[in-house]
A and B are shown apart, each in its own frame.
Chain A
Amino acid sequence: AQTVTQSQPEMSVQEAETVTLSCTYDTSESDYYLFWYKQPPSRQMILVIRQEAYKQQNATENRFSVNFQKAAKAFSIKISDSQLGDAAMYFCAYRNYNTDKLIFGTGTRLQVFP
C-alpha cells in the first residue's frame, strides 16, 4: 500500500525568507503524481504544485519549487520570499496513476512571522 509521510508537524519562517517542507512516500508503482496542497483555516484544499513521476525536471510555480528525488522517494517544497498569506497547513499527496486514488500525509503547519 502507498503511504505518505510528513515528519515536520510545524515549521516557521520569517517574511521574505525561504523555507523547505519535507515529504517522503512509499510506492511500488513507477507512474504516479505528487502534489503539494495548501489548506488555510477555511479548510479548502488549494493546489500549490504538481509533479509527474516520469518527469526528471523539478516543477516550479512562481515562488514555489519542488525537489523531486524519485530513487529516494522524497518530495520537498521550497517556498521562496515567504509571505504572510503563505501561512497554512501544507499537505503532501500521492496519486496513483492507474487507480486515481489520492493519499495525503499528515500535514505541516507553516507559520510566517513578520
Chain B
Amino acid sequence: EAGVAQSPRYKIIEKRQSVAFWCNPISGHATLYWYQQILGQGPKLLIQFQNNGVVDDSQLPKERFSAERLKGVDSTLKIQPAKLEDSAVYLCASSLRAAIPTIYFGEGSWLTVV
C-alpha cells in the first residue's frame, strides 16, 4: 500500500514570495490533515478536511495561508506571502475514517524562508 505522498520535499524561498505544497493521501482515506512543525516544537494542526469539506481550520493563518482539497483526494497548501516565521516542516497526514484511529503521515515538506 502506497503511503502519504508529499512534494516538494525541500523548498527555500525569500520572504514575501509564495510557495505551494502538494499532498496525495493514502487511497480511500477520507480525512486529510496539514500540520506545521516548527523546529523544536510539536506539530500544530493547520487544517483538517473530511472528504473535500473543511472540518477545522481554526489555527490556519488565513490572511496568508490557504488550502484546498480537490475532489476529496489531493490537497494543496499555499503560503502567500511567506514570512520568516513560516520556516517549518509541513506534514500531511490522512486517516480512513473516524472509527479507524490510526493517522498516517507523509515525509513532510521542509520550508526555509530567508
Q: Which A positions have Cβ atoms within 8 angstroms of B?
A: 4, 6, 33, 37, 42-47, 50, 52, 91, 95, 97-107
By beta carbon, the residue of chain A nearest B30 is A100
For chain B, what secondary structure do more than half of its interface residues adopt (helix, strand, loop), or is it mixed?
A: strand
Q: In whole angstroms, what is the CA distance A52 to B31 when docked?
A: 19
Stretch at the interface among B20-28, B75-83, B94-102: B94-102
**Beyond A43-B110, A44-B107, A45-B91, is A102–B33 a contact (Cβ under 8 Å)?**
yes
Q: In whole angstroms, what is the CA distance A44 to B41 when docked?
A: 14
**Beyond A97-B98, A99-B55, is A45–B45 a contact (Cβ under 8 Å)?**
no
Inter-subunit contact B105/A45 (CB<8 Å)? yes
**Beyond A50-B102, A102-B103, is A44–B45 a contact (Cβ under 8 Å)?**
no
In the complex, number of A-B residue pairs with CB atoms less than 8 Å apart: 56
Q: Is the C-beta of B61 less than 8 angstroms from some C-beta in chain A?
A: no
Inter-subunit contact B110/A106 (CB<8 Å)? no
Q: Please report the total number of B residues contacting A with Cβ < 8 Å.
A: 26
Q: Inside 8 A of A99's CB, which chain B residues have their CB?
A: 55-56
B103: which of A44, A95, A97 is its contact (CB, 8 Å)? A95
Q: In whole angstroms, what is the CA distance A8 to B55 when docked?
A: 32
Q: Inside 8 A of A98's CB, which chain B residues have their CB?
A: 98
Identify the interface centre among A6, A46, A99, A100: most chain B CB within 10 Å of its CB: A100
Q: Inside 8 A of A100's CB, which chain B residues have their CB?
A: 31, 48, 50, 55, 95, 98
Inter-subunit contact A106/B41 (CB<8 Å)? yes
